């Protein structure tokens, strides 16, 4: 008898880039996605003996992404993920669970017709998981850089023999927001959220909470951001945030005979690394955490 056994496993095609151009005469619309498919189910035999009887080739999953984009269009990242996940689970007996991860890249019109420029603010994300009985949809965004040039303090922290950081009552607070939020929609028979509207509003509440919170710590700001989304969006039960602290340190200009703290200006060094990383989850009362802490 072997001393080992197979644990959790999955397979699929990662990062299929698909761009769908919808033409309404001379006016065009663009959907630009990066789609990753992960499938799991009755896959023991292929690992133990190499038998591919139950294996849908990863190349087929790639082709399905392209075919579905043409056949059904891309209404939203979430809806496209739902179509794909349902197809893989219901069309193959060996597949019991499908997880679709999507990044969406936004384009902004340069003209009213067919000229665009790639937006650079953030990347929209979506993760759809289906097991044949229920859904889990987690949307989000990443790479959204924000800054408050004041209304942030940091003091009263623990100090030991290695502490050199000075307390401050006025600092720059900047971060690169990575946020994921889980919908409480799990069943086909229930009305699905309006995915695009929900994304726009969740993003708005994240930004308004960041801008409107007088911050004594980045942890406080994190909680305020997640709390605002949960309070204002009833379709969302959980928000997980990862906020790297993009440190801005005042530059010492005294060696040059300059004072770097005047009423009308200040100069900072924007540090690249190392950086503080603040992470946390905000839950609706009674909800259980389901978004994984790490990928």
Out of 62, 87, 205, 247, pick the active-site residue: 247
Give the H or E element holding residue 83.
Answer: helix 77-91
In the 8-state DSSP scheme, what is residue 221? Answer: H
- Round to whole Å and give the CA distance between 139 and 123: 11
Look-up of token digits 């269009």: 73
| Max Cα-Cα span within the chain | 78
Out of 58, 60, 123, 232, pick the active-site residue: 58
Out of 13, 87, 205, 248, pick the active-site residue: 13
Closest CA to 81 of 22, 47, 36: 36
Give the CA count within 13 Å in the CB-facing half-sphere of 74.
24
- Round to whole Å and give the CA distance between 219 and 156: 14
246 has catalytic annotation:
no
- 287: tokens are 């909800």
The answer to whether residues 230 and 237 touch, using CB atoms and an 8 Å cutoff, is yes
47 has catalytic annotation:
no
13 has catalytic annotation:
yes
| Length reported for the chain | 295
Closest CA to 36 of 106, 88, 93: 88
Q: Which residues are catalytic?
A: 13, 58, 247
């Amino acid at each position: 008898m072997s001393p080992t056994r197979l644990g959790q496993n999955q397979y699929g095609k990662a990062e299929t880039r698909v761009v769908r151009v919808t033409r309404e005469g001379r006016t065009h619309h663009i959907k630009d996605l990066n789609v990753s498919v992960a499938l799991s189910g009755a896959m023991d035999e292929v690992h133990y003996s190499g038998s591919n009887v139950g294996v849908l080739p990863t190349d087929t999953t790639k082709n399905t992404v392209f075919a579905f984009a043409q056949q059904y269009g891309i209404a939203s990242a979430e809806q496209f993920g739902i179509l794909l996940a349902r197809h893989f689970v219901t069309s193959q007996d060996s597949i019991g669970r499908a997880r679709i991860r999507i990044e969406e890249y936004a384009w902004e019109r340069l003209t009213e017709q067919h000229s665009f420029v790639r937006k650079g603010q953030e990347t929209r994300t979506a993760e759809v998981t289906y097991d044949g009985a229920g859904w889990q949809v987690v949307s989000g965004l990443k790479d959204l850089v924000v800054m408050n040039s004041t209304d942030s303090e940091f003091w009263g922290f623990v100090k030991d023999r290695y502490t050199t950081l000075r307390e401050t009552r006025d600092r720059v607070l900047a971060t690169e927001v990575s946020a994921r939020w889980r919908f409480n929609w799990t069943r086909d028979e229930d009305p699905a959220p309006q995915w695009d509207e929900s994304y726009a509003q969740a993003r708005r509440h994240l930004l308004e909470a960041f801008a409107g919170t007088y911050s004594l710590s980045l942890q406080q700001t994190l909680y305020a951001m997640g709390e605002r989304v949960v309070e204002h969006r009833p379709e969302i039960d959980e928000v997980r945030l990862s906020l790297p602290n993009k440190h801005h340190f005042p530059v010492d200009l005294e060696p040059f005979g300059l004072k770097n703290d005047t009423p009308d200006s200040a100069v900072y060094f924007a540090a690249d690394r190392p950086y503080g990383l603040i992470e946390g989850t905000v839950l609706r009362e009674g909800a259980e955490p389901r978004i994984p802490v790490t990928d």
